[in-house]
Structure formats: structure tokens, C-alpha cells
Structure 1
């Protein structure tokens, strides 16, 4: 498909990545790099390079390392090591064309860039998204009595969101319990009893009552709430992370705070439905886009946009670990959305001015508005 004005607009647009993570700051051998290419386990004799995302890295990332497209993995990794991690990160982050990053700092099994470091490498700015499970687990680790847990968690959460640069909060309830929860706010007595059980056994926060309490605390905080849905690593039970399982909870809460459904695949159509019927529900298809690559990004976006109001879809990469994913996510989004919108323009299903406006909304302005970022309250048509 020939490039048109929509492609040009999206290629030049400075994106807002409303959900991502840092990039590793240390060198990676082949095993280390391959472990970050996949959401699954490393399997003997099966290389993640032999997957859609592995092929996309060799096709679309190799030229930024001064290599031909489709070079063998060992050549790619050798050049990566030769340049060094800092230079590799700088090249991919600059190539992404992202001006604003909203960084989830709650997941860091590797040494990764802090938001300020990510922004410096990219030549942009960064804000923080606080993962609430981490706040709760820090409260527990610090020592608290069961009957004091609710107040202590609430105070710690408020302190976290008041830090400079924090623009939202996130929950990984999808990983911990799934969404088939009682939607009603738990009572104080229920929270105390659940805290007693959890504090006695320790470990990560996965008690259904306390997860419900966490989600309702997020409502009280009044900040945009990101919720992981759909695609993730092997800790997910996919049938439990369909976002429509949140419907009853959304009926109780969704007029109070923005709720942002992250990733969504294979439930992008279900998420689209929720965005179409609840005023303050939004979605993205981040993480999915770099895993399917530019070749299939348009198909994923087409399904997400079948009924989604155009003010309700945001761009995210959900890149973690390798800076290639910040670049691939942006590239897949730009190319996939441009192809989709231009096809509709050529079919006279969409006027060109509308397509250009939609491109700008999805890539930048929707996130600015939801997170109240600078320039986000101005609608420039």
C-alpha cells in the first residue's frame, strides 16, 4: 500500500506511550536476550528468534544497528554487544519517536532504566505509574497489625501518588486473582480478617478480598487506573482475565475515575465493548503490537477499533527489558494505524481530515487528556 498523508502524519507524530517499563542497563548474552523476547519460558532447542517477534526484531531493528535486514541472531547480538547497552538503548528509544513515557516502575526483575533515565536516552520526558500491589506488599513487609492494614495501605498509597511526576496507578489483579471478584467494596471486618490470613502466611498479595480492597482504594485515590488484561506471561489464567468480567465493578465505579484496560489481546473486542458503553473506560493493544510485529498490527488495531470511540484508544508499547520493544511497538502502531485509516479514506468511508485527527488522538492527545499531561486539555480539532 502506497504511503499517503496519514502515513506521513503518523510517521512525524511524537507519540505518548501511556504504559511502558524501563530498558535493561547491562549487557545481555544470547540466553538473556532471548529470555526477554518472550512472555513464556525458555525451552531447550526452541529459540524465541524463531517467532513473529524474533523475526520482527531481525527485520526492523537490525538496520538501526547498522546491519542488513534479516541478519542471523548471532550477528545481531554481536553488533549489539559491540555498540554497548547505553548506545543501543539510545538508538532504539530515539527511533521510536516517543516524546512522553508513562512508566510502570513496579516490575523490575532486571536492572532497568528509571523513568528519568529512559527519558534522557529518548530525548523526551517521563512520568511514573505506581503499581499498587507493590505498595501493599511494602506495607506488609514493614510490619503492620491486621486491623491497621487498611489504614496503613491507604496512607502509603496516598503518599505514593503525591510524589512528583506520578500520573496514575496500576493493578495486576489479573495475575493475582483474575477478575471474577465480588464487585462490592469489602467491609472493614472483611479486610481485617483477610489481612490476618495474608500477613500470617506472607508472600505476594493474592487474597481476593484484599485485591478488591486495593481496587476500591484506587477509586478513592482518584487517579487514572491501569488494569492489566489479557495477554501476559504464564502466570496468567487467560479465561480469568477477560475484561468483561469487570462489568459489574465498572457499573459501580467507572463514572468516578478513568479505567485503562491494558494489552487486551485476545479480548480487544470485549475491551472495545466496555469502552463503548462506559464513559471513562479506555483501552490499548500494547504488548500485542510488538509481538505480532508491523505485519499484523493493522489487524489487531482494526478489531480494537470496530466499535471503540476514537477518543477511547491510546497508544502504548508495554516495552520491557530490551529497547527494541519501545521501537517495535511504536513502529507497529504507526504502520498498522496508518494502513487502516488510509484504507478507509481510499474507500471513502473516512474523510482525510477525520483520519488525520484520529491518528493524532490515538497516538498522543487521548493520553494527554486522560492523564492531564501538559497540552492535554486542549482539543486542536
Structure 2
């Protein structure tokens, strides 16, 4: 009689990750709510709708750098997921037969059923990359007020803690294994550091227009070539559909093509914003406004309203709608809303002509 096959090193790594998830899910209820809040509200979409407008409170270039790094990181994350064929815990426990051999007290959540491959973690990679310019700007700002090295390191320490918490939240909801969140975080940090050292010319419309087309077409070409060679890059969709506890938890926005529409749309929005930049006088006026986060708050509200508008139920139109919304975001926050603020400010500053009394 042949002995049972020995598990591979990757299987052992996956099983260790499952036990980590079991330990996390056995934690106190208040911690469960924290993990769910974190993974739901700091997903890759939040970089474009929350971090980008908030970064305008620091500096316009910082906010654009956040978008630029985010879209490059998200595109690269999609490509890596396609060709690394990473499993996800919520389907691996069934596909591997572990759930039939071991009693596992694990639960799925509405944010569990990601449909793309699992490696590396997009939440950790994109968050780690896009927050790097914000952390750098905050660290420089701390240097103006203190000479203490410890205080200067506070933004970076908060950044590291946030990435660790994000990684634990992804393990908790069974969306990723520990090694996937570690590699995603490290890749995001390296990408953020590298891209910030070589920023593009933010005033060149043609550059971002070329990026919008290049990122989308290159992804389509890679997908087509892989399919032609016999690789099924959509294998994860079948796994997700068969192993998700609730079919309503399978969302279009978790698919790789939704990420690519977001990336291309954002690059197109940066091109349009570069085509119609604010004048120097307008920039100087905006810098003199108090408080500096006023326009950022208005941008947050506008983007929140934009992305809450209903989308088409047709899949092709849904993707087109997503691309259009993310293209409008940089224009809305970077050009239209600042112009509106200046117009309202000038109207308030204009003296009114009142009729003289008798």
C-alpha cells in the first residue's frame, strides 16, 4: 500500500495561513468589527476617492503623486495576480480537501469573495504604494516643527501599523494568506519609494493619455497572449463562484478588469486635468485660503456622491461607467471644484452696491 502523498511546501504554507485565520476569527467581537471596517473602507477604491482628495490638503503635487503611484501599483498588481496564480483561503480550504479532514470554525463575510487571484494582496500593495508620498510629505512637515528623530518617525510608524492591520484584516476575512499580504506590503513600499524618486511631468497631457491607452491595451494584449498559449487567467472566477457562501457577495468591482478600468480611467482623468490646469494666480489664491482642508473636504463629498450614482446592470456598460467615473475624479477635484471655490470667494469679496439713504 502506497503512503499518502506528502503536502508540498506551498500547501504547508497555506495550511499555516488557515490556522492564522482561525486564530484571528476567534478574537473578541469588537476586534472583528475593526477588521471588517478596515478591509471595507480602505480598499483600493478608497485611494482614489478618499486619500487623493485628502492629500490636496497637503499639496497638489502630493495628491497627483498619490493617484499616479496608485494606478501603476494597481496595474502591476493585476498582472502579477494573473501570472502568479495565487490561491485564496476561502476556496483553497475546499479545493485542497482540508475542510473535509479538519474541523475549521471559519466564516465568510460579504467582503470575503474576491474574484481575482490572491497573490499578492492588492489591498496591501496599492495602499502601501499610494500612501508613501503622503507619509513622506508628513515626515518633512514634522521636520519643520521638531528636531526629535522619534517624532519625525511618527508618520512612518503609523504607516507601518496601518499596513500590518490591513494585512491582518485580509487574513481575517479569508481573502488572503499571510505570505500574500507580506509580499503585497513589501512590493507596495518598494514601488512607492521608487516611483516617488522619479515622478513624471504632471503637466504633460500626452504622457497621461498615452498611459491610459498603454495600460489598458498592454493588459488586454497580455491576457490575449496568455489565453492563446492555453493559460486560463480567469480560473479564479470559477473557484470564487463555486466556493462563495452567498452569490450576492460576488461583486464586479473585485474582478481584474474592473481594476484596469479604474486605472485607465484615472490616467485619462489626469490627462484631462493636465490639459486644463489652474492658472498660477488661481493656485496662489487657493494657497491663501483657510483652512487648507476646505477644498479637500469638498472633494471628498463630491467624489462620494459621484461614486454612489447608480451603475448599469449590463456588464460592458458597467465597466465603461466605472472608467468614466474615475476619469472625472481628477478633473472634478483638481480643476472644477477649485475654480468653483475661487468664484464663490470672489463673489463674497465683491462689495455690494447699496442705494444711499435719504
Q: TM-score range by the shorter chain?
A: under 0.3
- TM-score normalised by the chain length of structure 1: 0.24
Structure with a larger share of its residues in strand: 1
- TM-score normalised by the chain length of structure 2: 0.25
Structure with a larger share of its residues in helix: 2
